[in-house]
Amino acid sequence: MATIKRSLNNRTCEAPYLIFLGPPGSGKGTQAEKLHQNFRLVQLSTGNLFREHIKNETPLGLRVKDILAKGELVPDDLTVEMVMERLARPDTIMGVVFDGFPRTRDQAVALQNRLDEKGKCVTAAISFQISDEELVERLGARQMCPKDHSTYNLKSNPPREEGKCDLCGSPLIGRDDDKPEVVRNRLRVYRQQTEPLIEFYREQDMLIEIDASRAIEEIEAQLDEWMPMFIQGVNE
């Protein structure tokens, strides 16, 4: 990566710590995977971490299984603890994209406090903007790989071979919480508990909005274009 001297709103972070904020189906996971592939940022997806715990039937997984199935939020203390454990791993030092975290004000404050303690900061919160109609359509056609969590869509982003993961060949599955009644609840929960974070980050001059209704490649190109202002300091 080239040395870039620009910074975002004069915040100079050692490495990019980007928050992806947006409703279910807005493409957070899809674009976080791209940032991982293109820039080696760690994709810290709380949804994927919870699903992994559920699959492995860990104590946390057993505790949160019904919560995810209903589309409710996992309590803040459990979520924050899981994120902090993941953040403590050394691979996060070169940057993280938080995919689906924070989702409440308390989670946002906990993250900022922890990054402060480590001498790091949130670089930007990117808000994915899209209409409810488009979300519902996307989630109705989503498929995912249960092994590596890569995401596909029967209409907009099909796998190369029908029903098989491009990366590992595993059979693709639907997500339990993509049933229409659960999607409705996830949207309601998002509006009530997570959407207020847009103002929280706007007030701190950290918010960037992206039109998430565009094609996957267009959004990827836009994020790639913005990356230099997020990585100031990394290569100096």
Report, as residue numbers or ranges, the catalytic residues.
28, 103, 142, 175, 186
Cα Rg, the chain, nearest whole Å: 17
Q: Of these partners, Mg ion, ligand AP5, none, which one is at the site of residue 159 (CB under 5 to 8 Å by kind)?
A: none
Kindly state whether residue 29 participates in binding Mg ion, applying the rule CB under 5 A. Answer: yes
* C-beta nearest to Mg ion: residue: 29
Interface characters, 32-51, with Mg ion (x: CB under 5 A)? --------------------
* Minimum CB distance to ligand AP5, residue 177 (Å): 6
Q: Please choose, out of 25-33, 70-78, 109-117, 218-226, the segment that lies near Mg ion by the rule CB under 5 A.
A: 25-33
Cβ proximity to Mg ion, 13 vs 27, nearer residue: 27
Contact set with ligand AP5 (CB under 6 A): 22, 24-30, 46-47, 50, 67-68, 71-74, 79, 100-103, 107, 138, 142, 151-153, 156-157, 177, 186, 215-216, 219
**Site for Mg ion, residues 67 to 126, rule: CB under 5 A:** none
